[in-house]
Amino acid sequence: MNKITCPVCDYLVDAVGFPVKDYSVSGEIFEICTCPQCTFAFTQPQPEPSVIGKYYQTTDYVSHSDTKKGLVNRLYHIVRKKNTTDKLALINHFAKKFASLPASLLDVGCGTGYFLSVCRQGGWQVEGVEVSTVARQTAEQRVGQIVYSSLEALMSTGKLFDVITLWHVFEHLHDINASFLQLSQLLKPQGVLILALPNLASADALHYKELWAAYDVPRHLSHFNPTSLRRLVEKHNMTIEQILPMKMDAYYVSMLSEMLKNVKGGGHHKGLLHRLAIQSKGKKGRQLFKFNLYN
């Protein structure tokens, strides 16, 4: 049987899992494999970086889109506005701890630069990295400065940052160890790394199972829960300082998941109600993981 080395704990994992369909682009079936030793899960097979671009080619993939057509996109833009306010409040909270203001922010996977632009207006010195050429050009126009195409390109400048954010980006990366190393090298000694990730152990994931929209295969290559993430973080000599829920994202994922169950539409209201019901039981949805360097 084909074995794959777990990137978190190096255990040799059987490359078999449960099937999940790519609903939004290709219709292809992928598998979610789970490491029995550390509980890290990963998508199989993983399209190579040179070919994964075709799995992002749809107008329905709204994460990098500024269109406002359709109910889901309108909801997405409402969620984005609320989310951006919450994110800025979060990084402003950390900025108070830094001696030299204005504090510096790096947003990796900055998309069309919406968050970068809001942070810059809020007094932050900002830099962005975005791999998509179309999104990067939009971001450069929006923010009025260069946006880098890769972490490597940014690292050659020698800049370091007080806060680095990856809002639903880390799960898309092919080499999580190499990326984590680069991110830690880009942080100032007391810097804070903020990762927003879908949580495999969330009530949403457990309820919707293979229809959980946050599997989003094969665009999401890694699937974390707090246990596996902690293991990865500690392997890189960092520590998790805080785990926070992202309620708006959980609502959004629930709505998408409910629509996968009922593609004729109308299911999103049910999803929201169900989500509220889960919330009222005190369960947590998507999580925001925040790490701090040891030193």
Question: Cα torsion at 270, 249, 237, 230 (round to 10°)?
Answer: -10
**Beta carbon nearer to Zn ion, 26 or 37:** 37
Rg of the chain over Cα atoms, rounded to whole angstroms, equals 19
Residues lying near Zn ion in the complex (CB under 5 A) are found at 6, 8-9, 11, 35, 37-38, 40
* Cα gap 78→153, rounded to integer Å: 33
Quote the least distance from Cβ 174 to Zn ion, whole Å: 17
3-state SS, residue 147: coil
Quote the least distance from Cβ 253 to Zn ion, whole Å: 25
Quote the least distance from Cβ 176 to Zn ion, whole Å: 12
**Beta carbon nearer to Zn ion, 40 or 148:** 40
* Cα gap 20→216, rounded to integer Å: 9
Spatial contact of 164 and 194, defined as CB atoms under 8 Å apart: yes
* Cα gap 295→293, rounded to integer Å: 5
**Beta carbon nearer to Zn ion, 11 or 61:** 11
**Beta carbon nearer to Zn ion, 8 or 20:** 8
Quote the least distance from Cβ 228 to Zn ion, whole Å: 7
- Going across the sheet that includes 29-34, the strands are 18-21, 29-34, 41-44, 222-223
